[in-house]
């Protein structure tokens, strides 16, 4: 059973870069060609899709965040990462990594989620 675990700093200063990693266990990040994804949940609000990356590269970003987001994959470590630049208080959220239900579908429902990591933005 594939499991996901986010890791990274819980506090980032305004204008700096938020960096998170999602470690994939119980299966290879190469298997079946999934779009490994990042989402976030703003405090007391709904969910927002950030972007995703195919196991061989080829990231896709939400147009609303595209200018600040980079998603990369490290198959040797079975993990993928998120970088969000120039953060502000509006970026404080719980960040989740997730795997979609179906392989090779960039947009899909998500059946596997990490537990989430809370990131605060403050000087």
Partner 1 sequence: EIVLTQSPGTLSLSPGERATLSCRASQSVSSTITSFAWYQQKPGQPPRLLIYGTSSRATGIPDRFSGSGSGTDFTLTISRLEPEDFAVYYCQQYGSSSTLTFGGGTKVEIK
Give the residues lining the site for partner 1 (CB under 8 A). Answer: 45-49, 62-64, 96, 98, 101, 107-111, 113-116
Strands 69-74 and 57-61: unpaired
Closest CA to 47 of 39, 56, 37, 38: 39
Nearest distance in Å: CB 109, partner 1: 4
Separate counts of helices (H) and strands (E) for the chain? 0, 11
Nearer to partner 1, 65 or 75 (CB): 65
Nearest distance in Å: CB 42, partner 1: 11
Nearer to partner 1, 78 or 106 (CB): 106
Report the greatest alpha carbon distance in the chain: 42
Nearest distance in Å: CB 13, partner 1: 26
């Amino acid at each position: 059973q594939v499991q996901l675990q986010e890791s990274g700093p819980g506090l980032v200063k305004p204008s700096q870069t938020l960096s998170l990693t999602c470690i994939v266990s119980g299966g290879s990040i190469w298997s079946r060609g999934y779009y490994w994804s990042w989402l976030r949940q703003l405090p007391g609000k709904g969910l927002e899709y950030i972007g995703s990356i195919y196991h061989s590269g080829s990231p896709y970003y939400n147009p609303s965040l595209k200018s600040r987001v980079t998603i990369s994959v490290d198959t040797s470590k079975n993990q993928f990462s998120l970088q969000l630049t120039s953060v502000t208080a509006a970026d404080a959220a719980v960040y989740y990594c997730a795997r979609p239900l179906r392989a090779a579908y960039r947009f899909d429902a998500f059946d596997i989620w990490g537990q989430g990591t809370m990131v605060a933005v403050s000087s």
